Structure 1
Amino acid sequence: MENTLSLADQSGTKPAAVPPAILQPVARTERVQTIDIIRGVALLGILMMNIPYFGLPHTHDRTLFNLPAESTDYKTYMVVSILFEGTMRALFSMLFGAGILLFTAKKGLPDSQYTVADFYFRRMMWLIVFGLFNAYILLWPGDILFNYGIAGILLFAFRKLKPSSLFIAAFLCVAILFGKEIWKTMEQKDHRQGYLKAVQLEKQKKKLTDEQKKEKEAWLAVEKQTKPDKKEDAEIIKNRQSNYGAIFLALQGVNIKRESTKLYQFLFWDAIAMMFFGMALFKLGFFTNQLPTRTYAITLLAGYGLGIPLAYLAFRDQVAWYSNPGQVIDTQSFSFQALYQVRRCLEAVGHASLLLLVYRSGVVPWLMKALGNVGQMAFTNYLMQSIICTIFFFGYGFGYFGKLAYHQLYYVVAAVWAFQLVFSVVWLRYFRFGPFEWLWRSLTYWKPQPMRLQATESDVAAVAP
């Protein structure tokens, strides 16, 4: 979530060799500005994908895919799905991978009883705790901090691999997820065939076996997941508009499943695939603005040129699926949704390339600075989004859950963006870290870190191990 050593100046050239850094939090003058900018955009963009789950029942996609194509909600959903779905989280994960390399590049003090590994694993363990806090206390079941902490512990062992090896590791993770998606489709085909056979036998007035009944029920359950269920939606809305205790109990099972079964099946692989990519790109100098402008232009064109069409084809497949899943299973030989990881990685690299080109152009330096401040306080801003949105939507706050149309949720997103941009700029005029960054660092080094900007570097060295 943070970077700790500057590997390039603003012009993109490699700096001269510097003495090994002591093991302490990064000084503001040592931050890599481009990483902060990209992280800031990713952090703000994540809210675009999270907001429907803050403000609407988790079954909202069933309703949206069944809306008329000319409706405002449908058009909004299409644009968000094609251009941003999964891409902001991919960028965030890539930069987390880069942050692993930055943190572990530190050198310990000669007289310190701890190594960088000690602080690194303590840091990941506290991140897991923050993830539990976000999920169970702030009541956000879409938390990623828990997953990142688990993934970060594993990735420590891969930090010294060459970029080529990291790319291979990333592709293997993507292949695993691709295989899981294909396997899921094959299971659905089996259920569909079992259902059709069961229906045929019923028409012939033949008695179904228990196995045939299960196959029929399995396919009917698949079909049910594609159709709006007003009764289920009403129950969810009623719960989220109630008190804290009721919402906690309703989300407890969701959080437990997400941090166990779903973590193993999908979320862990989803995270480390992009983290491996991020580590490889960082080692190549991509995120630190060290590559030629021509390279960023090519990655922009390739990322968008391949990623956006794949995203459109995947969205079209989903429209067909929610319209008639039986027909899709019977006639479709391949689903572009299986290429989810490929297309979101391509689009994420395209987004990052665009940002780096804008940064180099110097067109909107004030915006780049503001986004960099958001990225520097990404940990605080991420948790702040949970706090703001749950208070705005849930019953123990303003109770707007289920009261806004899908497209209206993005007015809330715009308001939160404006607040976080201004808040980050103002806060960092007076303080070295965001409040949650300060807490995380203090827990990592097990000593309170200097907070106000008036603190000198000698003060920092005296406090940090």
Structure 2
Amino acid sequence: MESTGTVSAESIITRQESVQPVSLAERVQTIDIIRGVALLGILLMNIPFFGRAFYLESEPLLHPGSTDYNVFVFIAILFEGKMRALFSMLFGAGILIFIGRKEETAGSSSADFYYRRLLWMVLFGVIHEYVLMWVGDILFDYAISGLFLYPFRKLKPRQLLLCALVCIVIGGIKAERRNVQFREKREKYVQVIALEKAHKKLTDAQKKDKETWEKTVKDFRPDPKAVAELNQNMRSGYGTVFKTLEPENIRFHSTYLYLGIWDMVGMMFLGMALFKWGFFSNKLPTRTYWLTLLVGYGIGIPISFVGVYLLQQLVTNPTLFADTYWISPAVGYDVQRALVGIGHASLLLLLYRSGAVTWLMRALSNIGQMAFSNYVLQTLCCTLFFNGYGLGYFGKLAYHQLYYVVGAVWVINLLFNAIWLQFFRFGPLEWAWRSLTYWQPQPMRKLSA
């Protein structure tokens, strides 16, 4: 019995020693290209939260015809949510790539590497949010979501697609519940006003219903005092910024993870299905990519346009919206995100096949290969530019001017990748993550020719 146990232990050790990260030669370039675009695109949505008060999220919609308004609508229709959806799909595809190779070499211990990898990602997410001060961190949420996906790795593409649809439906139901609650507040308020006009005495509950709706309407308009206070705090030292963002961090990872996990897991399931079909790895016929491009844009963009229109009506006049419209701005949200995201990916794959812009494809591939490091680099650039322990530009730029900063950060990303990958195999954070996952330092420098 002892010798059998010894042989088993030795075989496990041998298997684990043979497990190595994906080499440069094994990387799927098209996946890196799409991941690079998704990573750069995510900053388009993140930049308003880096540089302005959270209360001003939809404020550009209050100024139709302005530059801020036009930029907001353009970003919202073509990119908002779509880049994150695409990034989530690629995360799902990456799960299958990681697990598939580990099961070939490590067998049953592939689960050890998988969960170790995600648990380290949880820690990276906490550091990213609470130390580097990015309240919109997705590393933590992706890691938690990914913990549930290992048992689904061997499902067929259609089964994974069904899982994605179930998640999207559940997420849609949750969104509609919030819309129903919004309308219920309005209905209760109308009933209270009718009682007041009839000179009826209001109960405490009815008074509260009235106050609740009035506060709901008021919250759609940014409070100048609250904005000024947040601006001052964010332009202060590190300690003040930490205290200011801490409750937002807690709220984000308690409410968003609860509400948004169906969004993330659903898109990851969809990405797993698309990867098994060969979509991301450029294995499908050209006509298929043209079809997914046309369907993705042809259906997804109009739905996105309707959502932005409804959001503008809601923000401009929440009372009129509640009395007039019976669908929420979130109608079809995850569907249009997925469709437009797939449309973007199809366009990139068609460009890649054409060979028209090889230099751009190479640059985007570098970004995708170092997505983790680039994601955190974006945070460092933005927090040091906007927060008080850096240059202190928080709240000083108009909405459209924030995108000048996006362009500058993209240039930094591109230059950093081009230089770094001349000498090293992985990005610095990719190297740290891999070394921790395999519990041994990975070779970092490229061998000279």
Same fold (TM over 0.5): yes
Contact 1:37/1:371, CA 8 A, preserved across alignment = yes
Residue among 129, 143, 152 paired with 2:146: 152
Change (3 A) 1:273 1:108: closer
Residue among 387, 412, 419 paired with 2:412: 419
Change (3 A) 1:289 1:246: same
Cα offset, 1:337, TM superposition: 2.1
Q: Secondary structure at the match of 1:148?
A: helix
Aligned length: 433
Partner of residue 216, structure 1:
210
Give the aligned residue type for 2:343. Answer: G
Does 2:11 correspond to 1:27? no
Alpha-carbon separation, structure 2, partners of 1:62 and 1:147: 24
Instruction: Render the CA deviation track for 1:180-206: whole Å, top value 9, x for unaligned.
Output: 111111111111011111122223332
Alpha-carbon separation, structure 2, partners of 1:405 and 1:31: 41
1:427-442 equivalences in 2 (<5 Å): 427-442=420-435
Partner of residue 236, structure 1:
230
Give the aligned residue type for 2:145. Answer: A
TM-score (structure 1 length as normaliser): 0.91
Does 2:365 correspond to 1:365? no
Instruction: Render the CA deviation track for 1:341-369: whole Å, top value 9, x for unaligned.
Output: 01111100000000000000000000000
Contact 1:22/1:106, CA 8 A, preserved across alignment = no
Contact 2:38/2:86, CA 8 A, preserved across alignment = yes
Q: Give unmatched runs, 5+ long, in structure 1.
A: 1-20, 457-465
Residue among 250, 258, 261 paired with 1:256: 250
Change (3 A) 1:107 1:229: closer
Change (3 A) 1:420 1:62: closer
Residue among 145, 162, 176 paired with 1:182: 176
Does 2:31 correspond to 1:38? no
Give the aligned residue type for 1:290. Answer: K
Partner of residue 105, structure 1:
100
Contact 1:36/1:375, CA 8 A, preserved across alignment = yes
Cα offset, 1:419, TM superposition: 1.2
Alpha-carbon separation, structure 2, partners of 1:276 and 1:109: 22
Partner of residue 373, structure 2:
380
Contact 2:310/2:329, CA 8 A, preserved across alignment = yes
Instruction: Render the CA deviation track for 1:269-316: whole Å, top value 9, x for unaligned.
Output: 111011000000000000000000000000000000011111111110
1:282-301 equivalences in 2 (<5 Å): 282-301=275-294
Alpha-carbon separation, structure 2, partners of 1:22 and 1:294: 41
Change (3 A) 1:182 1:262: same
Give the aligned residue type for 2:272. Answer: M
Give the aligned residue type for 1:95. Answer: L
Q: Secondary structure at the match of 1:59?
A: helix
Does 2:42 correspond to 1:49? no
Residue among 282, 307, 328 paired with 1:335: 328
Partner of residue 277, structure 1:
270
Instruction: Render the CA deviation track for 1:135-175: whole Å, top value 9, x for unaligned.
Output: 10001010000011101111111111111111111111110
Instruction: Render the CA deviation track for 1:361-415: whole Å, top value 9, x for unaligned.
Output: 0000000000000000000000111111001000000000001111110000001
Alpha-carbon separation, structure 2, partners of 1:262 and 1:203: 40
Cα offset, 1:177, TM superposition: 1.1
Partner of residue 11, structure 1:
none
Contact 1:22/1:109, CA 8 A, preserved across alignment = no
Alpha-carbon separation, structure 2, partners of 1:381 and 1:48: 14
Alpha-carbon separation, structure 2, partners of 1:336 and 1:224: 19
Alpha-carbon separation, structure 1, partners of 2:255 and 2:401: 33
Partner of residue 6, structure 2:
none
Does 2:443 correspond to 1:447? no
Q: Secondary structure at the match of 1:259?
A: helix
Cα offset, 1:267, TM superposition: 2.1
- The range that moved more, 212-221 or 76-85, is 212-221
Partner of residue 81, structure 1:
76
Partner of residue 112, structure 2:
118
Cα offset, 1:447, TM superposition: 0.6
Q: Secondary structure at the match of 2:376?
A: helix
Does 2:194 correspond to 1:200? yes
Partner of residue 227, structure 1:
221
Contact 1:139/1:251, CA 8 A, preserved across alignment = yes
Contact 2:171/2:260, CA 8 A, preserved across alignment = no
Q: Give unmatched runs, 5+ long, in structure 2.
A: 1-16
Q: Secondary structure at the match of 1:401?
A: coil
Contact 1:101/1:279, CA 8 A, preserved across alignment = yes
Change (3 A) 1:149 1:455: farther
- The range that moved more, 71-80 or 209-218, is 209-218
Instruction: Render the CA deviation track for 1:407-458: whole Å, top value 9, x for unaligned.
Output: 11000000111111121111111000000000000010111111000189xx
Cα offset, 1:114, TM superposition: 7.9
Contact 1:23/1:116, CA 8 A, preserved across alignment = no
Give the aligned residue type for 2:403. Answer: Y
Partner of residue 96, structure 1:
91
Give the aligned residue type for 1:47. Answer: L
Runs of 4+ aligned structure 1 residues displaced above 6 Å come to: none
User: Which has a greater percent of helix?
Assistant: 2
Alpha-carbon separation, structure 2, partners of 1:346 and 1:355: 14
Give the aligned residue type for 1:429. Answer: Q
Change (3 A) 1:327 1:108: closer
* Aligned residues with identical type, % of pairs: 54
